[in-house]
Amino acid sequence: MARKSKSVEETQVTPLTGKALLQKLKEIPHLSRTEKARECGYFSVGKNEKPRANIGVFISAVLAAKGVSLDLEDSKRGREATYRVSVHKNGQMVIGAAYTEKMGLQVGDEFEIKLGYKHIHLKQIGDDGEEG
């Protein structure tokens, strides 16, 4: 006689989180990622009553347990300044807003350009026409 699978109620388990999750992962390093997810409670039961691993939720829980946040809401919008610019096809260079904001520059601020060997110095000209 064939053995019946457990009902949906019997298979629902509270997924492990935090230190308990990390401890369980140390106990089962030999299992595949899918098997680890199931063992830690990250699965759902499909229409055919077979458990299906929720890999995405599992990976997010592991990262959260290790203190890695993937919430993009906490991060700033836009790209970070790389402190590098390149010359465009038309011969111009553009210094992005990230740099001007960091330096506290305002619209209309003027600079004197001084060319050096393989570098360019920008010296800010004050309101009175003096270098600042």
24: DSSP letter: H
**pLDDT band at 73; cut points 50, 70, 90:** low
Give yes or no for residue 132 having a pLDDT over 60.
no
> How does pLDDT run across 23-39, given as a tens digit for each residue?
999 999 999 999 999 88
**Structure tokens belonging to residue 56:** 């995405």
Average pLDDT of the segment spanning 95-123: 86
Helix (H) or strand (E) holding 110: strand 110-116
Angle formed by the axes of helices 18-27 and 55-65, to 10°? 110
Give yes or no for residue 126 having a pLDDT over 60.
yes
Domain coordinates in residue numbering, the chain: 9-71, 81-132
Q: Which residue has the higher pLDDT, 57 or 10?
A: 57
